[in-house]
Amino acid sequence: MLPLRKIISDETQLRYNAMQIDMFSLLPEARQRIIATIAAIEAKRAFWLAETDLTVAVVGDGAVGTASDTPRTVAAAGGD
């Protein structure tokens, strides 16, 4: 879980324990947490794709060079 989101989740749970809030506040918090987690996964995916694109751009995608020179890059680029 994301560190900031974890703080919010933990504090929400503590407030529930203290009967400051009820479960109808816990559930939206859980939803927010899930949305944040999905957004984090999406962001990580976008990062890896972008980094791969960058590597390809820097090293070359093998189309101009010989394929045998950069097998790793080709494999990574193939994932796009």
Given the rule CB under 8 A, which residues bind other proteins?
11, 13-24, 26-27, 29-30, 34
| Cβ-based nearer residue to other proteins, 33 or 76 | 33
| Cβ-based nearer residue to other proteins, 34 or 40 | 34
Least gap, CB of 15 to other proteins (angstroms): 6
Between CA 47 and CA 20 the distance in angstroms is 39
| Cβ-based nearer residue to other proteins, 2 or 67 | 2
Report phi then psi at 70, rounded to 5: -130, 70
Q: Looking up tokens 């933990």, which residue turns up?
A: 10
Least gap, CB of 22 to other proteins (angstroms): 4
Largest Cα span, the chain: 67
Between CA 46 and CA 50 the distance in angstroms is 6
